[in-house]
Amino acid sequence: MKHPLFVRKTALALAVSAGLASFAAQAAETYRTDDVLVTASRVEQKLADVNMSVSVITSEDIAEMSGAKTIADLLESRVPGITVSNDGGQGIDRIKIRGEDAFRTLVMIDGQRISEQKSMSGVPLLIDPSQVERIEVIRGPASVLYGSDAIGGAVNIITKKGGEDAFGATVSAGLDTASSGKELSGSIYGAVGGWKYRFGAAIRDADNIDTPVGEMPHTDFNSKAANVFLSYDIDPDKTIGLSVSHFDLDFMSGAISYAPEDFYVDVPEWKRTRGALFGEFRNLTDNLARLRIDVSQERNTKLMENHVKPAPGAPSIDSFADNTLDTTGFSAQADWTIGDNHYLVTGYELTYDDLEAVSNTDLVPLPTVHVPYKRQDFSGYQMKNSVFASMESTFFDDWILNYGVRYTWVKNDMDVNTKLSYDLPVGSFNYDNSDGKAVFNLGLSYKGIDNLTLRANWSQGYRAPLLQELFIDTSMGGELTYANPDLKPETSDNFEIGARYTNGIVTVDGSIFYSKADDYITTIALSDGVNQYTNMGEAETYGFELDASVKFGNFEPYTVLTLMSREYKENGISSKKSGTPKVTARYGVRYQDEYDSALLRFDAYAISRSATEQWNFSTNTLNDAGCYGGFTTFNVTGGVSFGPKNAYSLDAGLYNITDKLYQTSDAIYEPGRYFAVKLNANF
């Protein structure tokens, strides 16, 4: 950070009310928070012991959500502090946490980061829900534990592994009327003589979204996914394994602010292929409790056409991109027990992103307009090396102190070759730079009251600029945006206090937080239609999050609530019209009971969001495209699990019952009233 940070506000909280309890599909009892194990702190812990705001989505939650097309659909409705950016279509979503842009959310699969280096939107969630065992969401900076990008928070998608028996299988099929959507998935899995295995595949297909004002053009998608997992237990304390996954997406995006023929984005190919090896070794010595090594290789290939006609009578701008991003990842983590009261996690991580990209920009000719053509070839890399240490110390039996540090060193290099009019060379350039940054965290928990954990923490966030922002000019979106090789990393400081309480009847997880972020990377207008990336923005965010419920017999009223105020500062201007809704809530009543060995469930709920306003700091006026009204939708879902061990389940939902016209982004309207159904079978 350029200047020292003076803390001007201290957040104090007392979390009260009643909150969300997760329940399993195959049993009638409700999970207690003490029973849920998570790995958010890089070690397996009870959720109540984690000194961060963490939410968990289980495989049962995923199976029961008949209307969820993507992982993001599920997260947004179940996790406080989450909003979703849909890029003007379906099938691809990006996550925003606590008002921060999707660039500032770290996305991981099985603890290994997913990279995106040539994007104006952030890292997408390119994985099919059928492959997911559970999802852990850290709300608030997690850069000490997980590195760059985790300013808003981190999402760790944990995939399904092998089974307990020699052979098992699942089949799932679903339909929804929102876009004539269809999905089908299946897997086989098991465990034989120390070996565990899983093979899975899934397909999804959807037409344009049907809204209360008609069909939204350019919003169709289809995807295909496949995954393989294999592991071997050398002995009870030693496991090695591998996983391979593939995701193939074809989608389009539109925008209500343009006529259908004036704007669309066509992505006929976005493929993610990932392979990973791991080894986990436990109880190696009296002090070395665990050693975990992960190696991964991932390839993302993307073809994209962006068509925009900025104004009547103006030439259309067609931009084409062909990108290949190869990411090599390596991490080694060692967990140490030091005496009876100290647990130390140390590690090293390497991420190497190799980008090969081609960008073409063309002006569709008009009778009196000269038609320039521009082609740029990019070849470069970003390498991140980091070391980290995080300690948990217990004292006086009921107090737990968490403290840690991570140092990250980033090296960037890019060759740029530019041509105009197809064969006229403009020049070739090489850029390179490097930077390093240390971040810290400090937290304290108290567990001296039965069923209650109090927590307070301070944590720093950090994000290194992307290759896109540093070196790659782009005309995607209809305007020219220049890169800036002199960009500095983004940083933030976060203060939080919260509480978790559960007694089997009442469950509460609440927190109040304050965040100050600096050196935001944003764009400034150089002239009409021409922008450049720069470090100008600052943001201060205050918020309250509540995830609560209370059981009355088989009924369970609940709420997932976020209250947030976010002030954005840029170019000497300050505004709280930051594009962040002040209130987001899901609230309703769940019911669960057993009848003749079948498990019945029912959920009637509403989702509300306040109006959104966004300030344009270049013109010092409201951005009309970023302003849209608040809304409330009413929904009802129900399901039944039946058969031996409740191996079969049928879930259905009626969504947006009042056919409300609303939007959650400035791009498109969301679906009107629709019905969805999903059937799951385990063999």
98 vs 365: which has the higher pLDDT: 98
Across residues 519-527, what is the average pLDDT? Answer: 81
40 vs 630: which has the higher pLDDT: 630
- The set of residues, in sequence order, having a beta carbon less than 8 Å from that of 552 and lying 6+ positions away, is none
Alpha carbon of 628 to those of 127, 505, 575, 653, 663: distances in Å?
30, 39, 17, 27, 7
The confidence score (pLDDT) of residue 425 equals 58
Position 361 confidence tier, pLDDT thresholds 50, 70, 90: confident
**Measured between alpha carbons, how far is 475 from 359 in angstroms, rounded to an integer?**
9
**Side-chain half-sphere CA neighbours of 532 within 13 A:** 10
Length of the chain: 683
**Measured between alpha carbons, how far is 375 from 549 in angstroms, rounded to an integer?**
56
Across residues 75-84, what is the average pLDDT? Answer: 83
Q: Give the distance, in angstroms, between the CA of residue 580 and the centroid of all CA atoms in the same chain.
A: 17
Q: What pLDDT digit, counting tens, does each position of 225-283 carry?
A: 999 999 999 999 999 999 999 999 999 988 888 888 888 889 999 999 999 999 999 99
The confidence score (pLDDT) of residue 68 equals 66
Across residues 445-466, what is the average pLDDT? Answer: 93
AA identity, residue 149: D
The confidence score (pLDDT) of residue 125 equals 83
Tell me phi and psi for residue 178, to 5 degrees.
-65, -35
Question: Per DSSP, what are the bridge partners of residue 489?
Answer: none
3-state helix/strand/coil string of 275-340: EEEEEEEECCCCCEEEEEEEEEEEEEEEEEEEEECCCCCCCCEEEEEEEEEEEEEEEEEEEEEECC
174 sits in the region (left: phi over 0; alpha: psi -120 to 50; else beta) called beta
Closest CA to 501 of 511, 509, 493, 492: 509
Q: What pLDDT digit, counting tens, does each position of 193-205 carry?
A: 999 999 999 999 9
Q: What pLDDT digit, counting tens, does each position of 626-681 carry?
A: 788 899 999 999 999 999 988 999 999 999 999 999 988 878 899 999 999 999 99
Lowest mean pLDDT across 59-73, 275-289, 389-403, 571-585: 59-73
Count Cβ atoms within 10 A of the Cβ of residue 604 and give its class: 0-12 exposed, 13-18 middle, 19 or more buried. middle
β-pairing verdict for 112-113 and 615-616: unpaired
- Asked if residue 350 has pLDDT above 80, the reply is yes
Residue labelled with tokens 């209809």: 478
Closest CA to 162 of 224, 70, 232, 213: 232
Position 13 confidence tier, pLDDT thresholds 50, 70, 90: very low
Structure tokens at 655: 């969504």
- The set of residues, in sequence order, having a beta carbon less than 8 Å from that of 188 and lying 6+ positions away, is 167, 168, 169, 198, 199, 200
- Asked if residue 429 has pLDDT above 90, the reply is no
**Measured between alpha carbons, how far is 450 from 448 in angstroms, rounded to an integer?**
7
3-state helix/strand/coil string of 626-666: HCECCEEEEEEEEEEEECHHHCEEEEEEEECCCCCCCCCCC
Exposure string of 197-217, with b = 16+ CB inside 10 Å and e = fewer, is bbebbbbbbbbbbbbeeeebb
The pTM (predicted TM-score) of the whole model is: 0.87
Q: What pLDDT digit, counting tens, does each position of 573-626 carry?
A: 888 888 889 999 999 999 999 988 899 999 999 999 999 888 877 777 887 777
Lowest mean pLDDT across 38-52, 340-354, 508-522, 603-617: 38-52
3-state helix/strand/coil string of 426-452: EEEEEEEEEEEEEEEEEEEEEEEECCE
Closest CA to 275 of 292, 294, 291, 293: 294
| Mean pLDDT, the chain, whole residue set | 85
β-pairing verdict for 452-463 and 480-482: unpaired
